[in-house]
C-alpha cells in the first residue's frame, strides 16, 4: 500500500485522472483477453468431436434462444473460425492502443517529474548545497526517476495481469470449480510467500543498490574531475580500487536480485503443471471418461497458456516494484522538502537604485550545523564609488561576507541594506545591480559565446555586447585569433582554453 500512497503523492490531479482512465482501459483489455481464450474452447471441442459438441445441451440452448437453425458441423466450425479471427484481431489492436497510451503517459510524466525535481533543486537556498551530497542529487535525476517510472509501468502491468487472471479464473470456475479452486489455493500460497518473504528481501536489495550506485558515481566523478591531481599524485590505483569495490558490490546486489526475481516463476510453473496433471491423474484413476474431459481440459490448457505467464509476470512485477520502491521513496522525499525554497523572484519587479551606500547592519551568521559564529553583530559600510578590500586569514570570513552581500547566505540577525532598503525586499532588483567574479569560476562545456552570455537565451544574445565584454576582459585579441572565434567550444570547465 505504501507504493500506491507514494504514487498518489507523486502525481498531480491531471495525472491521477489519466491513471483512472488507464485502469478502465486495463479492465477492458482483461475482458478481451478472456474472450480470446473463451472462443478457442468451443472451436477446439468442435474440431476434436463435432457431433458430441453439437449435441451439447448448452450449444443447443444457445441456438434455440437465438431462433437460429443449428448448422452442420463443417458450417459451425467455419463460423467459429471467423469469430475467433475477428476476436483476436480486435483484441490485439486494442492492446496495441493500450500500450501506446500507457507508454505515452509514463514517458511524459517521467519528463515532467525530472523537470520538477531539477526545478526543486535550483530553487533550494545556497546554504542547502554547503552540506548536500551532489552525487546523490545526480543519482536521483539520472537513475532514481527512471526507476520510479519503471516502477509505475510495473504497477500498470501488475494491474493488467491481475485483471486478466481474475477474469480467466472466473471462466475456469464456470468450467470446473474443483480444479480451479485446487490450483488457485496453491497459487495463493505462492503469492503469500512472495509478499511476506521475498518482498522484504528485494526491498533491502533495492536499498543496497541505491547506496552502491551513489558510491560508483562518486568515485568515478572524483577520479575524472580531479584527473590532473590524480595523475600528478600517481593515485590512479586508489580511485580505481574504490570504484572497483563499489561496482563489484553493486554487481553482487544485482545478481542476487536476478536470482530472487526468477525463483517464483519456476515454482509457479511447477505448481500449475503438477496441479493440472495431478488432477487429470486422479480423474483417470477414478474411472472418468476422457471424452468428457475434452472441454474442461481444453479450457484449462488455453487458460494456462495465458494464465501461467500472467501469474509469472505478477510475481516478476511484485519483485521489481519491491526492488525500485526505495527509489520512489527517495524521489518523493526530495520533492516534498517545501521549506528548502528560495523566494519567488518572478513576483518581484522594479529597480533598486544605489546612490549612497551599501550597509551591513549588525550581521550575525554561523554556518548550518555549526556553533561557531563567523560574524557577531558585525557592521560594514561600502560608500558609492569606493573600493573596499577585505583582508584576513583563511577561515576569517572573507568569502562568507561576499556571499552575504550577494544574498546567497541569509544572516541569522541583521540586514544588508541598499540606500537603507533591505535587499530581500526586492532581491531580483538587487541581483540586477551587481556583478560577481568568484575565486573559482564555473564555465559551461559550450562555446565562448554561450559562456560570455551566461544564461541568456540564444535569440536574445547581442554579439556586439559580447565583443565589448571580451575587450573589457582583455580577451578580444585572443578570441579573434581562434579559428572558430566565438563558436569555439571550451570543454568541461574551460579545459580547452
> Measured between alpha carbons, how far is 267 from 275 in angstroms, rounded to an integer?
12
Mean pLDDT to the nearest integer, 100-121: 89
- Residue 443 domain flag: no
Average pLDDT over residues 392-409: 86
Q: Which of 335, 368, 398 is the last residue of a domain?
A: 335
Q: Are residues 323 and 424 in the same domain?
A: no
In a domain, residue 103? The reply is yes
Q: What are phi and psi of 38, to 5 degrees?
A: -65, -30
pLDDT of residue 93: 94
CA–CA–CA angle 216, 217, 221 (5° rounding): 120
| Domain CATH for 93 | 1.20.1560.10
Total domains in the fold of the chain: 3
User: What phi-psi label fits residue 443: left (phi over 0), alpha (psi between -120 and 50 degrees) or beta?
Assistant: beta
Given this model, what pLDDT does residue 197 score?
75
Q: Are residue 17 and residue 154 in the same domain, yes or no?
A: yes
Residues 345-380 have pLDDT tens digits of 545 556 678 888 999 999 998 988 888 888 889 899
> Tell me, what's the pLDDT at 346?
47
Boundaries of domain holding 420: 345-433
441: in domain: no
Confidence band for 338, pLDDT divided at 50, 70 and 90: very low
For position 26, what pLDDT does the model report?
92
pLDDT score of 208 more than 90: no
Side-chain half-sphere CA neighbours of 1 within 13 A? 0
Regarding whether 259 and 387 lie in a shared domain, the answer is no
Do 482 and 390 share a domain, yes or no?
Answer: no
**pLDDT tens digits, residue range 64-104?**
665 566 666 677 778 888 888 898 899 999 999 999 999 99
Report the percent of the chain where pLDDT is more than 90. 11
Percent of the chain at pLDDT > 70 equals 81
Residue with more model confidence, 77 or 57: 77
Q: Are 167 and 30 in contact (CB under 8 A)?
A: yes
Indicate the angle between helix axes 13-48 and 73-123, nearest 10 degrees: 160
Residue-wise pLDDT for 465-490, tens only, equals 999 999 998 989 999 999 999 999 88
Is 340 contained in some domain?
no
Identify the band that residue 224 occupies on the pLDDT scale cut at 50, 70 and 90.
confident
Distance CA 358, CA 420 (A): 8
SS3 at position 363: strand
C-alpha cell at 157: 502491468
Minimum mean pLDDT range among 111-115, 186-190, 394-398 = 186-190
- Does 104 share its domain with 50? yes
Domain match, 94 and 44 both: yes
Judge whether 206 and 330 are in contact, CB under 8 Å.
no
Q: Rounded distance, CA 36 to CA 364, Å?
A: 74
Whether 341 has a pLDDT exceeding 60, the answer reads no
The stretch 223-237 carries a mean pLDDT of 76
The reported pTM is 0.69
Residue 442 within a domain: no
Q: What is the DSSP-derived secondary structure letter of residue 365?
A: E
| Helix, strand, or coil (residue 361) | strand
Residues 408 and 262 in one domain: no
In this predicted structure, what is the pLDDT of residue 28?
A: 93
Mean per-residue pLDDT over the chain, rounded = 80
**What is the DSSP track for 6-67?**
HHHHHS-HHHHHHHHHHHHHHHHHHHHHHHHHHHHHHHHHHHH-HHHHHT-HHHHHHHHHHT
DSSP string of 78-143, one letter each residue: HHHHHHHHHHHHHHHHHHHHHHHHHHHHHHHHHHHHHHHHHHHHHHS-HHHHHS--HHHHHHIIII
> How far does CA 402 lie from the centroid of its chain?
39
How many of the other CB atoms lie within 10 Å of CB of 65?
8
Amino acid at each position: 500500500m505504501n507504493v500506491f500512497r507514494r504514487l498518489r503523492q507523486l502525481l498531480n490531479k491531471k495525472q491521477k485522472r489519466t491513471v483512472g482512465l488507464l485502469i478502465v482501459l486495463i479492465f477492458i483489455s482483461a475482458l478481451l483477453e478472456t474472450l480470446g481464450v473463451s472462443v478457442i474452447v468451443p472451436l477446439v471441442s468442435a474440431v476434436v468431436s463435432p457431433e458430441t459438441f453439437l449435441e451439447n445441451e448448452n450449444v443447443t440452448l444457445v441456438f434455440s434462444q437465438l431462433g437460429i437453425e443449428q448448422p452442420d458441423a463443417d458450417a459451425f466450425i467455419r463460423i467459429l473460425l471467423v469469430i475467433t479471427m475477428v476476436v483476436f484481431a480486435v483484441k490485439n489492436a486494442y492492446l496495441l492502443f493500450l500500450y501506446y497510451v500507457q507508454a505515452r503517459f509514463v514517458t511524459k510524466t517521467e519528463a515532467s517529474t525530472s523537470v520538477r525535481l531539477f526545478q526543486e533543486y535550483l530553487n533550494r537556498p545556497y546554504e542547502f548545497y554547503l552540506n548536500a551530497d551532489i552525487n546523490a542529487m545526480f543519482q536521483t535525476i539520472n537513475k532514481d526517476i527512471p526507476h520510479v517510472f519503471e516502477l509505475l509501468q510495473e504497477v500498470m502491468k501488475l494491474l493488467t495481469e491481475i485483471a486478466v487472471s481474475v477474469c480467466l479464473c472466473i471462466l475456469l470456475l464456470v468450467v470446473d470449480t474443483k480444479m480451479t479452486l485446487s490450483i488457485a489455493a496453491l497459487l495463493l500460497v505462492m503469492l503469500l510467500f512472495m509478499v511476506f518473504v521475498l518482498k522484504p528481501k528485494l526491498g533491502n536489495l533495492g536499498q543496497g543498490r541505491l547506496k552502491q550506485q551513489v558510491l560508483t558515481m562518486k568515485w568515478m566523478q572524483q577520479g575524472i574531475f580531479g584527473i590532473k591531481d590524480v595523475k600528478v599524485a600517481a593515485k590512479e590505483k586508489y580511485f580505481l580500487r574504490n570504484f572497483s569495490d563499489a561496482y563489484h558490490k553493486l554487481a553482487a546486489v544485482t545478481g542476487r536480485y536476478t536470482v530472487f526475481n526468477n525463483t517464483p516463476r519456476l515454482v509457479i510453473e511447477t505448481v500449475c503443471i503438477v496441479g493440472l496433471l495431478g488432477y487429470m491423474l486422479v480423474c483417470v484413476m477414478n474411472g472418468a471418461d476422457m471424452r468428457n474431459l475434452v472441454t474442461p481440459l481444453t479450457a484449462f490448457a488455453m487458460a494456462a497458456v495465458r494464465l501461467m505467464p500472467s501469474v509469472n509476470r505478477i510475481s516478476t512485477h511484485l519483485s521489481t516494484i519491491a526492488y525500485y520502491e526505495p527509489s520512489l521513496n527517495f524521489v518523493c522525499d526530495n520533492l516534498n522538502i517545501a521549506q528548502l525554497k528560495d523566494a519567488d523572484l518572478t513576483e518581484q519587479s522594479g529597480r533598486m537604485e544605489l546612490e549612497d551606500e551599501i550597509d551591513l547592519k549588525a550581521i550575525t551568521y554561523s554556518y548550518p550545523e555549526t556553533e561557531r559564529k563567523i560574524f557577531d553583530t558585525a557592521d560594514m559600510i561600502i560608500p558609492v564609488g569606493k573600493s573596499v578590500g577585505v583582508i584576513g586569514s583563511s577561515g576569517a570570513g572573507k568569502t562568507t561576507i561576499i556571499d552575504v552581500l550577494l544574498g546567497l547566505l541569509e544572516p541569522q540577525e541583521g540586514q544588508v541594506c541598499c540606500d537603507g532598503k533591505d535587499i530581500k525586499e526586492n532581491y531580483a532588483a538587487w541581483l540586477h545591480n551587481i556583478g560577481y567574479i568568484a575565486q573559482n569560476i564555473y564555465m559551461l562545456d559550450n562555446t565562448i559565446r554561450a559562456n560570455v552570455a551566461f544564461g541568456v537565451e540564444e535569440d536574445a544574445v547581442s554579439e556586439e555586447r559580447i565583443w565589448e565584454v571580451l575587450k573589457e576582459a582583455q580577451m578580444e585579441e585572443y578570441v579573434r585569433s581562434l579559428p572558430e572565434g566565438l563558436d569555439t567550444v571550451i570543454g568541461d570547465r574551460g579545459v580547452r582554453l
